[in-house]
């Protein structure tokens, strides 16, 4: 006589197998996700290091002494940075030579070639500075039309006056409180002449005067100077001419000879208020460097990290050299 036997053992076995499959699948998915995350995090760290490396390359270039052929004395360290400013430099890395595929791109701009907003204003009297050789109110008025054109803000002179009445600006990003539309930092990935706030304005320059040799791309665009992308040999020619000059520079007489290759505009075409603000002696104290680090992970995988640094000049009298220290750093 046959007896009936319960089938719970088979059901239990199937349940255990199903549960095990779920656990294994979950662990496998977590392992794959962790592996992908680990690769992205590793590439991100590499890209960050490359971006910071761009800042260090810029510091080395700006501090590097330059001696012209047949000359014993080095070129004035205030002129040397002209070799490196306002164009994008790119250094590439390959798997075969460097162990990874990557790239660092950076651009240097002089703060002396931008308008210092704080120096336009007399904070004790709470009004624009109006002096014989400098008129902050006229400079602000000159900017009204381009600020409306490029940043969609009306009555810039009045709006800036109200902002500066409170206290000196600590960061250019405070301009965004004026409901300005447009870019804060230069984008190295797009080729556009659209001015950027940190390329047009500064708070870091040593004086209110402007250095025409270092006019930023954005200021040149606002002044309609048609700034030219000069090659290194052309820049050296200008440096040689500047090296031969002694004392102060009369830009009215020497603009055509010195800056004609850089700008497609005569000295007479520059607004009078800007002429009054032009320094007769070349001097640099601060630079802005924007650096991108990019790392390729195979296929379409690529990680980019962006950083911006303000560099401040420090003179070393003992060695008669200059070095640049990082004053501020922003991850973009």
163-206 confidence digits (pLDDT tens) = 898 889 899 999 888 888 888 899 888 877 789 999 999 998 87
Look at residue 14 and tell me whether its pLDDT is greater than 60.
Answer: yes
Give the domain range for residue 244.
Answer: 45-331
Residue 188 and residue 102: Cα distance in Å, rounded?
16
What confidence score (pLDDT) does residue 8 get?
64
Look at residue 140 and tell me whether its pLDDT is greater than 60.
Answer: yes
Asked whether residue 10 is assigned to any structural domain, the reply reads: no
Look at residue 319 and tell me whether its pLDDT is greater than 60.
Answer: yes
Nearest to 121 by CA among 72, 79, 157: 157
| Count of residues in the chain | 332
Look at residue 11 and tell me whether its pLDDT is greater than 70.
Answer: no
Look at residue 28 and tell me whether its pLDDT is greater than 60.
Answer: yes
Look at residue 38 and tell me whether its pLDDT is greater than 70.
Answer: no
Asked whether residue 31 is assigned to any structural domain, the reply reads: no
Asked whether residue 243 is assigned to any structural domain, the reply reads: yes
Question: Who has greater pLDDT, 35 or 108?
Answer: 108
Asked whether residue 37 is assigned to any structural domain, the reply reads: no
Locate the DSSP E strands across the chain: 88-93, 101-110, 115-116, 121-122, 127-128, 201-202, 286-296, 302-316, 321-331
Asked whether residue 18 is assigned to any structural domain, the reply reads: no
Say how many domains are in the chain: 1
Asked whether residue 178 is assigned to any structural domain, the reply reads: yes
Look at residue 245 and tell me whether its pLDDT is greater than 60.
Answer: yes
pLDDT band at residue 130, thresholds of 50, 70 and 90?
confident
Asked whether residue 103 is assigned to any structural domain, the reply reads: yes
Residue 294 and residue 104: Cα distance in Å, rounded?
6
pLDDT band at residue 303, thresholds of 50, 70 and 90?
confident
Helix/strand/coil for 304 = strand
Asked whether residue 2 is assigned to any structural domain, the reply reads: no
- 11 and 255 Cβ atoms separated by less than 8 Å: no
């Amino acid at each position: 006589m046959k007896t009936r036997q319960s089938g719970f053992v088979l059901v239990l076995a199937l349940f255990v197998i199903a549960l095990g499959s779920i656990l294994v699948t979950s662990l496998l998915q977590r392992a794959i996700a962790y592996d992908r995350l680990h690769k992205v995090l590793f590439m991100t760290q590499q890209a960050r290091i490359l971006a910071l490396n761009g800042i260090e390359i810029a510091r080395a270039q700006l501090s590097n002494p330059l001696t012209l052929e047949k000359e014993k004395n080095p070129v004035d360290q205030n002129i040397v940075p002209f070799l490196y400013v306002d164009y994008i430099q790119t250094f590439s890395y390959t798997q075969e030579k460097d162990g990874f595929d990557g790239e660092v791109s950076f651009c240097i701009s002089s703060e002396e070639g931008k308008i210092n907003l704080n120096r336009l204003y007399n904070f004790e009297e709470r009004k624009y500075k109006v002096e014989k050789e400098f008129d902050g109110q006229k400079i602000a008025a000159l900017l009204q039309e381009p600020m409306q054109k490029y940043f969609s803000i009306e009555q810039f002179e009045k709006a800036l006056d109200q902002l500066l009445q409170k206290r000196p600006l600590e960061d250019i990003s405070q301009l965004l409180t004026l409901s300005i539309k447009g870019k804060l930092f230069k984008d190295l990935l797009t080729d556009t002449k659209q001015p950027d706030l940190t390329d047009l304005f500064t708070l870091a320059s040593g004086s209110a005067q402007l250095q025409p040799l270092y006019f930023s791309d954005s200021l040149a665009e606002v002044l309609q100077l048609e700034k030219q992308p000069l090659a290194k040999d052309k820049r050296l020619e200008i440096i040689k001419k500047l090296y031969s000059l002694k004392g102060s520079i009369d830009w009215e007489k020497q603009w055509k000879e010195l800056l004609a290759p850089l700008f497609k505009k005569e000295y007479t075409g520059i607004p009078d208020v800007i002429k009054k603000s032009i320094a007769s002696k070349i001097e640099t104290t601060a630079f802005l460097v924007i650096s991108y680090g990019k790392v390729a992970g195979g296929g379409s995988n690529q990680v980019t990290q962006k950083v911006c640094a303000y560099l401040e000049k420090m003179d070393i009298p003992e060695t008669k050299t200059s070095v640049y220290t990082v004053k501020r750093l922003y991850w973009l």
